[in-house]
Structure 1
């Protein structure tokens, strides 16, 4: 087992200081290995040293401008810092370098969502779901984008899939209720809003939705 492998093992065990020590030794032994800089940057990121982590990701890119993992890790830091345009650029570059992971597609899509470009986000979120169908949050965000573009039936399918994967996802139930409302399916919509309140009693929008539907039903009687 080389030092990079040992360091990753320590990271997986949550032994951040020991992992950092191993990666620093590896850098001293081979200062031109981009992977070690990425790994050390990930340790720094995990313990909240984001500015320092970014320096190591930039150094990795300097050593290997095809290091997709460095762009991806840097993109995550920019996203966390709400620098969504920079994050988008990093995730795009990671993709150009051959990083075809569901996580990279998801984060690229989410960067575009934050930049209020849901139409552009749609294909990336779709690809993320195609690569990892068991990611409940990816399905939820894909469903939101579909709904935003008025693909209501397709959005309903994604919200249902999200709930199957995560039965406690209150926002998926809420948006499913809204989607049913657009389809004028009040019974299903009301049931979804009640499910939201069951999971999250202080969900104001679901509570308002219930009152609105029940008021409409009372007026019809």
Structure 2
């Protein structure tokens, strides 16, 4: 059967391909030549004309068939094909592919022997060094693996995979700078999506989230891969770019759904106070993420003893916390009623909450015109009006903050205030303990703000008088969050706060708890 020269070249076929008569219908029906048809034709041709020409083609396609069996885990069939190839033409490839077979079978010792035999027969076989490197990598012999990858790249400077795997080996060995250099060098050779993915993951693991975002976005511009988008969503979330992370996860759940995507989308929606939507996605995430599903179900159904019993299997400490608070409800609510609440916006809260103190979003929408200070007052008031119910407090904080401000900083602010409020109201914690928790939470929801807060707290301590002398009213949520953390680090008393200021009013609430 004559083959067009360009097709023959691209598929490594002879321009006149021998095909059995009985196989001809398979070619015309499928409009392509199946591998088994090629092999049967070449075997028949070689049986009548044992020349090097036909032997080279036959062995080449034997090894193609071997790879097919290997990928399908048909190991005995793969072994038989190797022996057929050896009987036709024995060279370094026989030991190379036997090495791959042993590696798949988990027999690393024999795999290494075979790959080294292959390289002894052909010292310039760059794929041999590459696969030997992969084998040593599996054996966790990272330094030796790196040497093999280097040899493979030295022989073929256009082959980027050895550099990629070098980066992996360095990464596993904790040599992060070397891993970064390897990945970046690989990208100069070939812009492959998996290299962008590995480099971005490296940056995430060493907390260089800004660089990770840049690399992931570059990778997606080269080729959209759901793995890159998934990791980008994580990066954006850590950077405090929650609106962007939410959008990425929504697109992933629509086009490339998986249990991991549904889980991350559900957790992100919980941050936004979108509890019903979060519950739907966490249900789709399945049993693996049942704990997250049950915790969000609390926000939708409210307290339910059967729900707590189920959740107790996953997080007994959290359930014990909720049950303890239930027993202390009267004492906590007495404290709240007897405190002097400084925000006049509490009057608005009475108008926009239902009989149990839950914010009615349709009513809250009428207050988006408020000034910055008034919005903060309303957020604090809506937490206060929820009484001794921690689920309702968080619910009101999340929904009020996001509706009134509609930006990423709203999440950082309400999460920080929630930790402070819970720590004082429910656990009577010292400010130093609370600040440690705040920093831990900020490192998850906004690492940039975490770094600013950490730096602020590491600076040489001024006096509280100096704090008030230098104080200016914040105009953004991030500024207010940092001011509040800084003020609490002084462990102030009620007599040491300036109640005329916004941060002073918030501090008064916290101290009165």
- Tell me the TM-score range normalised by the shorter chain: 0.7 to 0.9
Task: Give the equivalent residue in structure 2 for 1:220.
Answer: 358
Is 1:124 aligned with 2:206? no
| 3-state SS, counterpart of residue 211 of structure 2 | helix
1:150/1:138 Cα in 2 relative to 1: closer, same or farther (>3 Å)? same
Is 1:26 aligned with 2:100? no
Q: Over alpha carbons, which structure has the higher Rg? A: 2
Give, in angstroms, the shift of residue 74 of structure 1.
1.1
Question: Does the CA contact (< 8 Å) of 1:118 and 1:148 recur in 2?
Answer: yes
Quick one: which of 142, 147, 162 aligns to 1:50? 142
Return the alpha-carbon distance in structure 2 between the equivalents of residues 89 and 198 of structure 1.
40
1:5/1:140 Cα in 2 relative to 1: closer, same or farther (>3 Å)? farther
Q: How does 1:161-200 map to 2 (within 5 A)?
A: 161-163=251-253, 164-169=255-260, 172-196=261-285, 198-200=287-289
Question: Does the CA contact (< 8 Å) of 1:34 and 1:60 recur in 2?
Answer: yes
Quick one: which of 104, 116, 128 aligns to 1:36? 128
Q: How does 1:1-221 map to 2 (within 5 A)?
A: 1=60, 3=92, 7=96, 11=100, 14-15=104-105, 20-61=112-153, 67-96=159-188, 98-133=189-224, 135-163=225-253, 164-169=255-260, 172-196=261-285, 198-203=287-292, 207-211=294-298, 219-220=357-358
Aligned length: 215
Give, in angstroms, the shift of residue 106 of structure 1.
0.3
Return the alpha-carbon distance in structure 2 between the equivalents of residues 5 and 67 of structure 1.
22
Return the alpha-carbon distance in structure 1 between the equivalents of residues 94 and 289 of structure 2.
42
Return the alpha-carbon distance in structure 1 between the equivalents of residues 166 and 268 of structure 2.
36
| 3-state SS, counterpart of residue 72 of structure 1 | helix
Deviates more, 1:144-153 or 1:4-13: 4-13
| 3-state SS, counterpart of residue 155 of structure 1 | helix
Return the alpha-carbon distance in structure 2 between the equivalents of residues 195 and 219 of structure 1.
31
Return the alpha-carbon distance in structure 2 between the equivalents of residues 101 and 35 of structure 1.
18
Return the alpha-carbon distance in structure 2 between the equivalents of residues 35 and 180 of structure 1.
47
Deviations 1:122-180, CA, capped at 9 Å, x for gaps: 122223344453x44322111112233344343223223444534322xx333322432
Give, in angstroms, the shift of residue 91 of structure 1.
0.5
Deviations 1:33-65, CA, capped at 9 Å, x for gaps: 444322211122234443432232234455566
Question: Does the CA contact (< 8 Å) of 2:187 and 2:195 recur in 1?
Answer: yes
Give, in angstroms, the shift of residue 20 of structure 1.
3.6
Return the alpha-carbon distance in structure 2 between the equivalents of residues 207 and 82 of structure 1.
37
Structure 1 length-normalised TM: 0.75
Return the alpha-carbon distance in structure 2 between the equivalents of residues 130 and 6 of structure 1.
40
Return the alpha-carbon distance in structure 2 between the equivalents of residues 122 and 76 of structure 1.
20
1:219/1:167 Cα in 2 relative to 1: closer, same or farther (>3 Å)? farther
Runs of 5+ consecutive residues of structure 2 not aligned to the other structure: 1-59, 61-90, 304-353, 360-513
Q: Compare relative contact order (CA 8 Å, sep 6+) and give the higher one, 1 or 2.
A: 1
Question: Does the CA contact (< 8 Å) of 2:193 and 2:222 recur in 1?
Answer: yes
Deviations 1:63-107, CA, capped at 9 Å, x for gaps: 5666532221111112223433322121011112x1211111100
Structure 2 length-normalised TM: 0.36
Question: Does the CA contact (< 8 Å) of 1:74 and 1:90 recur in 2?
Answer: yes
Return the alpha-carbon distance in structure 1 between the equivalents of residues 289 and 118 of structure 2.
48
Return the alpha-carbon distance in structure 2 between the equivalents of residues 202 and 94 of structure 1.
41
Return the alpha-carbon distance in structure 2 between the equivalents of residues 44 and 69 of structure 1.
15
Runs of 5+ consecutive residues of structure 1 not aligned to the other structure: none
- The CA RMSD over aligned residues, in Å, is 3.5
1:6/1:118 Cα in 2 relative to 1: closer, same or farther (>3 Å)? farther
